[in-house]
């Protein structure tokens, strides 16, 4: 379950995304997540857009990653919500997700999400709890993740807000995908924040969206190679070039064939 667009984007879930982005088409919404799944999961198959490396739904992915578990605790779900940040419990973006989920009637995951930076046994128990969500609890957990992405502080909401403030109130799906990918990759805030770049480079007319996007992607190509954003740096360059290819093709609406063509680059 929750591995196909039809299972995920039931009316309530689609409405959450449509209200935030203006996009009504399930295929277009899927295309955005498909492009995000290439650099995040090295996925090149449209059918596997919402499937993690273990063959199950990415919405219920939960793992204490060896390389950043002491800093971020357990990484969860579609957008890599973490139970900690900089080694501090309750700083991670999983906690607002857990609060929203409980408010929607889901089980209380907040208490279980504490102490996972150091307690690997507790982290394993927490992961099993996420993996085993089912029925209405699973439905709520999927919707809660989408709502978090589309509310203040969420990657999709912040991308749309930044583009509106930059003079693009109704961006194309390609522009949305490129900015959301950059926010997921480089974060919101800090030196390489895409929101800051957009604030500093507004357009005078929405008709200049294509030029803005090209400039943004050129900046992304450089910024993605800095600090810890991508390793090796070439992955960051390819990540930007993927969107530049679509722009050059004129595929601003993200048709499936074009998207499948640009994700064939090799992650190192």
Domain locations in the chain?
A: 5-51+152-262, 58-149
Q: Residue 228 is encoded by which pair of tokens?
A: 């810890």
| pLDDT of res. 54 | 83
**Are the CB atoms for 197 and 238 separated by under 8 Å?**
no
- What rounded mean pLDDT belongs to the chain? 95
Handedness of CA 170, 174, 175, 181 (dihedral sign): positive
Whether the per-residue pLDDT at 73 is higher than 90: the answer is yes
Q: Which helix (H) or strand (E) holds 76?
A: strand 75-76
Rounded CA-CA distance 119/250 in Å is 50
**Are the CB atoms for 254 and 173 separated by under 8 Å?**
yes
Each residue's pLDDT tens digit, 226-252: 877 788 999 999 999 999 999 999 999
| pLDDT of res. 63 | 95
* Exposure of 19 in the CB half-sphere (CA atoms within 13 A): 11
- Of the two residues 175 and 191, the one the predictor is more confident about is 175
Displacement of CA 259 from its chain's centroid (Å): 17
Each residue's pLDDT tens digit, 84-118: 998 998 889 999 999 999 999 999 999 899 999 99
| pLDDT of res. 90 | 81
**The model scores a pTM over 0.85:** yes
| pLDDT of res. 144 | 98
3-state secondary structure string, 40-64?
HHCCCCHHHCCECCCCCEHHHCEEC
Each residue's pLDDT tens digit, 9-62: 999 999 999 999 999 999 999 999 999 999 988 999 999 999 998 889 999 999
Each residue's pLDDT tens digit, 112-144: 999 999 999 999 999 999 999 999 999 999 999
């Amino acid at each position: 379950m929750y591995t196909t667009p039809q299972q995920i984007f039931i009316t309530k879930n689609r409405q959450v995304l449509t209200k935030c982005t203006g996009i009504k088409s399930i295929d277009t919404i899927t295309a955005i997540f498909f492009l995000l799944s290439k650099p995040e999961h090295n996925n090149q198959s449209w059918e596997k857009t919402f499937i993690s490396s273990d063959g199950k739904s990415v919405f219920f992915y939960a793992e204490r990653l060896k390389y950043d578990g002491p800093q971020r605790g357990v990484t969860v779900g579609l957008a890599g919500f973490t139970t900690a940040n900089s080694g501090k419990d309750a700083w991670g973006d999983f906690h607002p997700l857990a609060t929203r989920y409980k408010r929607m009637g889901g089980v209380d995951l907040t208490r279980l999400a504490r102490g996972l930076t150091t307690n690997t046994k507790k982290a394993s128990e927490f992961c099993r709890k996420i993996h085993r969500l089912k029925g209405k609890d699973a439905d709520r957990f999927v919707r809660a993740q989408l709502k978090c992405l589309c509310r203040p502080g969420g990657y999709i909401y912040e991308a749309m807000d930044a583009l509106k403030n930059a003079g693009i109130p109704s961006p194309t799906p390609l522009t949305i995908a490129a900015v959301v990918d950059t926010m997921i990759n480089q974060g919101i805030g800090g030196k390489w924040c895409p929101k800051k770049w957009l604030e500093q480079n507004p357009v005078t007319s929405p008709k200049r969206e294509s030029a803005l996007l090209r400039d943004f992607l050129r900046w992304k190509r450089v910024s993605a190679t800095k600090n810890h954003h991508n390793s090796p740096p070439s992955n960051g360059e390819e990540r930007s070039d993927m969107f530049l290819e679509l722009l050059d093709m004129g595929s601003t609406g993200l048709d499936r064939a074009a998207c499948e063509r640009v994700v064939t680059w090799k992650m190192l």
